[in-house]
A and B are shown apart, each in its own frame.
Chain A
Amino acid sequence: GAGVSQSPSNKVTEKGKDVELRCDPISGHTALYWYRQSLGQGLEFLIYFQGNSAPDKSGLPSDRFSAERTGGSVSTLTIQRTQQEDSAVYLCASSSQTVSNQPQHFGDGTRLSIL
């Protein structure tokens, strides 16, 4: 497809379980971002990947959160030992970094609910 694709669109899991969220960016986009959107906190930056550079992990809220980007394309965000406060919509975005001021293009997100 032409846009950023995220899966699953919805995920319900029990507290304490691990979850994996997937993001497939726009083809050719070298920059990939994860954000979290929740009622209390708004839109928060989590992690940023740019090409082969070390990722910017400065937004990850705890060491239960981690992310990978394989082959410079698909990314997976993993949350271990989920807690109820992890319930949120997780948004992925990608951008072309040919010029640094390019807008980020967002997927429709994964709505995560922790029971």
Chain B
Amino acid sequence: AQSVAQPEDQVNVAEGNPLTVKCTYSVSGNPYLFWYVQYPNRGLQFLLKYITGDNLVKGSYGFEAEFNKSQTSFHLKKPSALVSDSALYFCAVRSHTGRRALTFGSGTRLQVQP
């Protein structure tokens, strides 16, 4: 069975400061890892993915994520937060084999204060 943990329900950060949204995962074999963002009354919007190779993945809107195999983590980061980054963020995983559907974390609400 695969699972994702997002230990923080909410993260608060001041505009211009760096942000980190944490994610750890459990999966059999090698993972595909994804981050999505959800704005109110909208679907999930893809930010970035880790497939293989470089542990630092760069995505949309200046976001990046660092894959750490030993810690089974895939934390989302951004060097300088914007108020417009305030949204709900989901980490997701699936294995290279087996079910194609994603398993999502419970989500982390990011609040960026001006």
Interface residues of A (CB under 8 A from B): 4, 6, 31, 33, 35, 42-43, 45, 48, 50, 56, 58-59, 91, 93, 100-101, 103-109
B104 A100 Cβ-Cβ under 8 A: no
Which residue of B is nearest A43, CB measured? Answer: B104
Q: How far is the CA of A56 from the CA of B94 in the complex (A)?
A: 15
Distance in angstroms from B45 CB to nearest chain A CB is: 7
Report chain B residues within 8 Å CB of A105: 46
Report chain A residues within 8 Å CB of B32: 101
Main SS at interface, chain B? loop
Report chain B residues within 8 Å CB of A93: 43-44
A42 B101 Cβ-Cβ under 8 A: no
A4 B43 Cβ-Cβ under 8 A: yes
13 A/B residue pairs, CB under 8 Å, sorted by A: A4-B43, A6-B43, A33-B100, A45-B99, A48-B99, A48-B100, A58-B99, A101-B32, A101-B49, A106-B45, A108-B41, A108-B42, A109-B42
Q: How many residues of B contact A (CB 8 A)?
A: 22
Q: How far is the CA of A104 from the CA of B49 in the complex (A)?
A: 11
Total number of A-B contacts with CB less than 8 angstroms?
53
Main SS at interface, chain A? strand
- For the complex of A and B, list the 5 residue pairs with the smallest distance between their C-beta atoms, beginning with the closest: A106-B43, A43-B104, A45-B101, A106-B44, A103-B46
Partner of A104, one of B42, B51, B102: B102
A109 B104 Cβ-Cβ under 8 A: no
A50 B43 Cβ-Cβ under 8 A: no
Q: Does B34 contact A (CB under 8 A)?
A: yes
Q: Does B86 contact A (CB under 8 A)?
A: no
Q: How far is the CA of A49 from the CA of B48 in the complex (A)?
A: 23
Which residue of B is nearest A97, CB measured? Answer: B100
Report chain A residues within 8 Å CB of B43: 4, 6, 91, 93, 106-109
